[in-house]
Amino acid sequence: MDSKTYPTIKNPSFSGLIGVSQEDITPPVGIYARNWGAARHEIAEGIHRPLMLTCHTFQSSENEQPLVLIGADLGWWKSAEDEHFLRHSILKALSLEPSNLMFCLSHTHAGPSLFTEDAEKPGGNLIRPYLEQVIERAVAAIKNALSTAVPATLAWHYGTCDLATNRDLPERTSDRLLVAFNPDEVADDTLLVGRITDSEDRIMGTIVNYACHPTTLAWDNRLISPDYIGAMREVIESETKAPCLFLQGASGELAPKEQYVGDLKLADSYGRQLGFAVLSVLEGMFPAKSQLYFSGAVESGAPLGIWKKKAFDPSKKLSAQMIAVEFPLKPLPSLAEIEKEWADCQDNVLKERLWRKRGIRKTVGEGETSKMPLWIWQLGDSFLIGQPNEAYAEFQQKLREQLAPNAVAAINIVNGYAGYLPPKDLYPKDMYAVWQTPFASGSLELLIATAVEAAQRMI
């Protein structure tokens, strides 16, 4: 039997100089942290688990400017100005090109406000100093990762975890969709795990790319928390003895079954569920720089085919680009109109919605279109594709389909935020993702087409 008729099997990989570091970015108790319209508290009253910032740097050679990947246990940006302040401070401190930094938020809904215009609210005076602290910790993490970088291999493997469920539930008494578990729809349960190992095959760090809203803890919770990501990290880091970096996937319509609670044990249970799924994927990975090949047949009681491991040299290719995608906008009220409506509103829930709408209008501008950035990194046989908004799972599904056999990490809430990107067939629906987004129908499809085309050119 000719072994050449069978392909070799390997984990998509990249080899180069890789650095790993981690910093604690837990905010002070008392910071403004009202993330829910239904909340009755304004400030964080304690800490459930620390918020962490994890950094990985990637280089093909020591003289090359690094790609810097940061995962932070933070929620979302309500202001383009605040995001620019943080990101451009980091870029300036490290003399990085804008295409070479992805600052990715986990999207916890139990974190501090990142909106400096909340300064007049209780605990709001702590927001600007906290952002400055995050910048300081991010710069320290990058410098530490670069100074300790060693020849290493990043390998990827797919798995599954059924923590995520569809959260677009048709309401029985009306035509609207609730943001709640919908048992009739199948959710994308794909889990992508990256493992970084040094020349001695020791694990230096892990990357988890999974799409599921961290909305377990809601208005009844008064503590700062990374939500399920905290316990997930604890499970993985306890086993691997190495930092874990979380990348929120295209989770626009994905969340746990039971959520919006104050029960910390539930969030921790979800984190362990995902953490054990990650460990299962790690156990199933080949050793670094090894692949399976078909070595031939052995005649025994049955004709047995033998697959064996052999060494291979992973790709050292490393490239990055940042693309501006021009999205059409829905008809929107002007900033002045939104501010007047907010000033006249007496309902706390509606007032919170208007405050968010105001931030979105400021971010996308007053025109009929708005340019949103898209980051595409190629690391050997893999792509990391990040963008600022809350894309539905179709984004990651189409990317994986079109760019296979490369591993693809699709990342939401990277270097900014404005709104949701639901598929165009949902726009006629009465649902939160549609009325929240400033982007017109077809924007998700435009993003997918742009990302696929750009990535294929890089291949």
The secondary structure of 168-227 as a DSSP string is EEEPTTSSEEEES--TTS----EEEEEEEEETT--EEEEEEEE-----SB-TT--EE--T
Residue 195's nearest CA partner among 181, 211, 209, 206 is 206
Location of structure tokens 């493997």: 157
Measuring CA to CA, which residue among 229, 35, 219, 227 is closest to residue 115? 35
Region 26-44 average pLDDT? 95
Q: Is 191 helix (H, G, I), strand (E, B) or coil?
A: strand
- pLDDT, position 379: 98
Q: Rg of the chain's alpha carbons, rounded to an integer?
A: 22
Residues 6+ away with beta carbon under 8 Å from 330: 437, 438, 439, 440
Q: How far is CA 375 from the centre of its chain?
A: 13
Other C-beta atoms lying within 10 Å of the C-beta of residue 9: 12
- Residue 156 · residue 371 · CB < 8 Å: no
Question: What contacts 60, CB < 8 A, 6 or more positions away?
Answer: 16, 17, 316, 317, 318
Structure tokens at 19: 């650095």
Q: What pLDDT digit, counting tens, does each position of 266-307 carry?
A: 999 999 999 999 999 999 999 999 999 999 999 999 999 999
Q: Are 323 and 374 contacting, i.e. CB atoms less than 8 angstroms apart?
A: yes
The amino acid that residue 271 corresponds to is G
Sheet containing 168-170, strands listed edge to edge, beginning at the edge strand earlier in sequence? 168-170, 176-179, 430-431
Question: pLDDT by residue (tens digit) across 160-190?
Answer: 999 999 999 999 999 999 999 999 999 999 9
Span 403-437, pLDDT tens digits: 999 999 999 999 999 999 999 999 999 999 999 99
Tokens of 441: 């129908």
Q: From CA 217, how far away is CA 208, in angstroms rounded? A: 21
What pLDDT is attached to residue 4? 60
What 3-state class would DSSP assign to 2?
coil
How are beta strands 390-391 and 420-421 bridged, if at all?
parallel
DSSP letter assigned to residue 393: T
Judge whether 226 and 51 are in contact, CB under 8 Å.
yes
Q: Please give the backbone phi and psi of residue 164, each rounded to the nearest 5 degrees, phi first.
A: -75, 135
Confidence of residue 332 (pLDDT cuts 50, 70, 90): confident
Q: Read off the pTM.
A: 0.95
Nearest alpha carbon to residue 179 among 162, 189, 163, 165: 165
382 within 8 A of 409, measured Cβ to Cβ: yes
What confidence score (pLDDT) does residue 349 get?
79
In the 8-state DSSP scheme, what is residue 26? P
156 residue type, one letter: W
Written as six digits, the tokens of 16 are: 């180069």
Average pLDDT over every residue of 90-98 = 98
> How far is the CA of 210 from the CAs of 163, 164, 455, in angstroms?
10, 9, 21
The two three-digit tokens of residue 293, written as one number = 């090949």
Q: Where residue 359 falls among pLDDT bands split at 50, 70, 90?
A: confident
Q: Which of 394, 385, 378 is nearest to 323 (CA)?
A: 385
Q: What is the largest CA-CA distance in the chain?
A: 83
